[in-house]
Amino acid sequence: MAKKWGITALLVFGLYALVMYVYIFHSGSGDIPAGLKGTVADPNVFMTERELYLSEEYSKIRNFLFFVITPLEWLIYLFILITGLSQVFERWLPLKNKWAIVQNAVYLFLLSVFLFIALFPIDYYRYYLSKYYGISTQVFSSWMRDNVIDFWVTLGETVLIVTVLYWLINKSTKRWWLHAWLLMIPFTIFLMFIQPVVIDPLYNDFYPLTNKELETKILAVAEQANIPTEHVYEVNMAEKTNALNAYVTGIGSNARIVLWDTTLSRLSENEILFIMAHEMGHYVEKHIYFGIAGYLLTTLVGLWLTAKLMPWIITRFGRVLKIKRLNAIHSLPLFLLITSFLLFVSSPASNYVSRYQETRADRYAMELVADPEAAVSTFQALTKAGLNEVNPPLLVKWFRYGHPTMLDRITNVAGEKETMEQDAP
């Protein structure tokens, strides 16, 4: 039966990958509408022929990998279950019936190492692609260092979460999902609070903006927006990427506005001020807090669905999946498979909300700095630096884009420019 399941899963995955390959590489979707050709939103206007070719090629590969990797992870979880590998990891646990956190740490270490090795070829290929197309500037040793740091940070968080989770399942097989969610609220807020000062500095160096003249202008814009901040932070990303970015992170006293040094070196002052105004829009409209609330709501629904699906699957297919009972740690790959699937299918909804917030932040930036030319040139520069698609296919937009497409963003700010010119005396 397990062999039959494995073969069926591989066939379904192969068919799915073939369909996605045809859709992404041969559907012809994502072209620029005829009415926008020759405008500032048309990549043929602001990108070279070489950049256009690389952007199209690189975007298709990345999109295909995105749609294939997540289902591939589900296959790996299924393989771990039906081969009994999860039970093997559990049998290797030392100190039986003592110190559950130590037992869970050993199990999760073995599981994480297996997943790291299984997915490493794909991770390396993505790194290679980014280097090949000139996006990444990171040397292999630095890339591996980030991977190792990420491995241990994720493992530490997961050990704590899984230990509490299975303790709750042992205490209440019916209501564990609600208790887990209630504990997730303070844990999520705590992680958001320490992220800028504890976790992020493990990967990069952060320091106050060195260009004090520019910082003064940014702080003046922040004061205009009634944002209480004393510093804008700069992060050294040039040694890792050619892409451009800026973001708001953290909550409370640890909230930060962060600029990549690549953004500082390659954009004009007016373009940087527009980006800062955009990030301030997120702060003013409290998108971080709405994001936390949305995350907690989706987590509640996800945990409830998982609590309903896991017992049913174990009752019906537990023998094939080599799962003896719900509260055993060897059932964790099934938990991860279900939650990964739920996250994937719900991503169009979460991305839609995110795109709405980004549109609001763009509109706020336009009102704050009133510089549509800088807005258009900023979006064009972001597109070129990241070799991004201006108008991706519909499924790609739904599942991958937490920001509006560059076509939408440039068209919107260009429309604002026309409105401002018409309103001018």
Separate counts of helices (H) and strands (E) for the chain: 15, 4
Q: Is 330 annotated as a binding residue?
A: no
Cβ 244 vs Cβ 367: under 8 Å: no
Residues 6+ apart with CB under 8 A from 132: none
Cβ 282 vs Cβ 258: under 8 Å: no
Q: Is 278 annotated as a binding residue?
A: yes
CA distances from 390 to 131, 267, 275, 359 (A): 21, 19, 18, 16
Catalytic residue among 362, 389, 408, 416: 362
DSSP strand pairing (256-260 vs 246-249): antiparallel
Catalytic residue among 215, 271, 279, 371: 279
Q: How far apart are the first and last CA of the chain?
A: 77
| Tokens standing for residue 174 | 């019916």
Amino acid in the structure at residue 372: P
Cβ 327 vs Cβ 166: under 8 Å: yes
Q: Is 358 annotated as a binding residue?
A: yes
| Tokens standing for residue 135 | 């996006």
CA atoms of 214 and 276, how far apart (whole Å):
11
Q: Check if 408 is active-site.
A: no
Give the position of tokens 């169009």.
Answer: 348
How many Å is the Cα radius of gyration of the chain?
24
Q: Check if 234 is active-site.
A: no
DSSP string, 344-392: HHHHHHHHHHHHHHHHHHHHHHHHHH--HHHHHHHHHHHHHHHT--SS-
H/E segment holding residue 235: strand 233-235
Edge-first strand order for the sheet with 206-208 is 206-208, 233-235, 256-260, 246-249
| Tokens standing for residue 134 | 């000139």
Catalytic (active-site) positions? 279, 362
Binding residues: 278, 282, 358
Binding residues for Zn(2+): 278, 282, 358
